[in-house]
Amino acid sequence: MMKKKTLTAAALAVPLALALTGCGISSAFDDRYEDSASKSAKTSQDGVASGLLPGWVPAGGSDIRLEQRSTGHERIFVMDYAGELPAGQCTKIKEEGAPSAAELEAAYGGDPRTKDIDPEEFVTFRTLEADWWPDATEQRTTHLCGRWWVHQQQGNLYAFAPDISGVATKVVQERAENQ
């Protein structure tokens, strides 16, 4: 009997605390889809070994900065790297910034994280923000490395992995509601 009263009291404590602070339960969970985390690694080898970066990322990169959506598939990262992309794992696309449906299907089908998801479920735009990610960088994509849209510029490698439309749509809706 004592455990039941304790659980009931605990269950009521959170809504009561929110009410007393002027927050409603709904506002406590706002931006659920907007949630993201910043991560970093000193070297690309460290990032790949820890699982932070995908296996295709070449050795020799440094100063890795990554932003990842906590509620979906989207990721962006940049690293200092002026070398070549791995030929067997990255494929040059025909039109910069605009991979075709066939190119996306081939790339996503070869990535273990996306092989069971219809490529049409992924959006072709970025919703993540980071001060180190230049505007429209994903529109400069020259290669697909699995699900990653990649290009290199001025000694940096930029990579973007898009989200599925359900999550991206929720992010866009939440932003509109919060403006």
Q: For residue 21, what are the CA distances in angstroms to 25, 26, 28?
A: 11, 13, 11
pLDDT at 84: 95
Q: Which two tokens stand for residue 84?
A: 């070549």
Encode pLDDT of 30-69 as tens digits: 456 666 778 999 999 999 999 999 999 999 999 999 999 8
Which residues of the chain register pLDDT less than 50? 2-30
Q: Which amino acid is at 85?
A: L
Instruction: Map tokens 């791995």 to a residue.
Output: 86
pLDDT at 31: 53
Counting every residue written for the chain, the total comes to 179
Contact between 68 and 36 (Cβ < 8 Å): yes
Q: Which pTM value belongs to this model?
A: 0.79
